[in-house]
Amino acid sequence: MPRRQPFPARLARRVASVRATMVNAMLLGLACCVLQPVAVAAESRRTAIVDAIASQRDAVVNIHGQKLISSEGDEPKRVNGMGTGAVIDSRGYVVTNYHVVEGVERIEVTLASGATTSATLISHDLRTDLAIIKISPPHQLQVVRIGTSSDLMIGETVLALGNAYGYEHTVTRGIISALHRSVEVSRTQRYDDLIQTDASINPGNSGGPLLNIDGEMIGVNVAVRAGAQGIGFAIPVDKVLEVVSELLSVERLDHTWHGIVARRDLQGGAVVTTVHRASPAEQVGVRAGDRIVRIGNAMVASQLDIERALLGRKAGERVNVEVVRAEGHEQIELPLAELRSDAVSPDERCWRELGLRVEAMAAMRVRQLQNRYRGGLEVVEVRAGGPADEQGIQAGDILVGLHVWETIRPENVTYVLDRAQQERFGPLKFYVLRGRETLFGHLTWDTIRR
């Protein structure tokens, strides 16, 4: 039987090449079979919650600091504090809870990137426990997306993002359990009209955003019920916007003045509700009912946007403002003015900061009721939900003293408010005459102008 001849070398190489191609094709086919389901699974896991957190993570910062805590009879102790903040302006302005940064010697802020920097307390409001801190980032920061708390639904999904127990950027999920809750956490701190949620809110979450499923901030986490599980609270974002607009106002930070008061309109733009008399806005023809849609290069949807667009500009600088009226779009050049000491009247400050309208009362009438007083201010109106209303002050009462000063003229009230702001008083002790009886209490006064 003849012996089989060996393949020529060229043919052997060709067969080996074909075999290798077949093996590679089989391996590629197997790889496709293995990898394809993994890719599909990864896409299916990208839920609305994942997208919401991913979109807002860079707008959240973690806050650390040390403060001295005093207890009766013991030496002050140095303790570590922690909290969270949400970026509300790309230049480094952050909103948080005041109790997070109150008394902190050095505020340390960690960005989502891991970079750490120091911050400065810019302004705060004791009554609502909100504060603005400022960092100097190396680049512009992402700003948190702001939603509304006007249409919240019990049962809808919410997400809490924060520095829980120092574990940075911790995410928890829950639902809105209730609305309009009132919570008293101490003798001096009470919160009203809060959102209740069962999303886990722990020490360190304070000041961080409560998000809806679309990744919009609908509240600022503020408190947890001690000893309870699944009961946390947040300040509604509409209230936060109102307060932060004042804390970040150009009047407060730059001592400039524009004179525009506007409300947010969910249809777009900010609708002017009031134009202050003799203000720069009044002088150039801004009027109530105007819808402001742009200032300079910044789109406007709220009073906060107006303040942010004008913040950092100098008195005398003119800024282009686009308004919508019945006639169509109009362009107005708004000049900023230096804030005059008389730009806000004593009566207006009393209303904004204490929630009172008062009128000077004849000294003789006051002495007929109580002869130890030289005069007083009759309360003619009390703003619902304001500091005075919360303390039970009523129309008809006579305000005879604030802190250690008597109140005979409205200017006396502004003097006390100025001193309180400069020296950072706590709650202001007040004295009112009701009939012939003197009553007193403590006003957790608004450090912001309303």
- Of the candidates 277, 258, 247, which has an alpha carbon nearest to the alpha carbon of residue 317? 258
3-class SS string, 105-136: CCEEEECCCCCEEEEEEEEEECCCCEEEEEEC
Residues designated catalytic: 99, 129, 206
Contact predicate 287/332, CB 8 Å: no
Instruction: Report the run of H or E that residue 77 belongs to, with start and end.
Output: strand 77-89
Could you tell me how far CA 405 lies from the centroid of its own chain?
33
Compute the distance between CA of residue 364 and CA of residue 139 in angstroms, rounded to an integer: 63
The single residue listed with the structure tokens 């609270």 is 233
What phi and psi values does residue 67 have, to the nearest 5 degrees?
-140, 160
Contact predicate 382/388, CB 8 Å: yes
Compute the distance between CA of residue 230 and CA of residue 52 in angstroms, rounded to an integer: 22
Residue type, 409: R
Q: What is each CA distance from 165 to 82, 214, 242, 392, in whole angstroms?
A: 8, 26, 29, 38
Compute the distance between CA of residue 25 and CA of residue 31 in angstroms, rounded to an integer: 10
Q: What is each CA distance from 327 to 37, 90, 291, 292, 321, in whole angstroms?
A: 58, 34, 12, 14, 16
Compute the distance between CA of residue 69 and CA of residue 75 in angstroms, rounded to an integer: 9
Quickly list H helices, 57-115. Answer: 98-101
User: Residue 322: left if φ>0, alpha if ψ -120 to 50, beta else—which one?
Assistant: beta
- Of the candidates 221, 224, 204, 213, which has an alpha carbon nearest to the alpha carbon of residue 82? 204
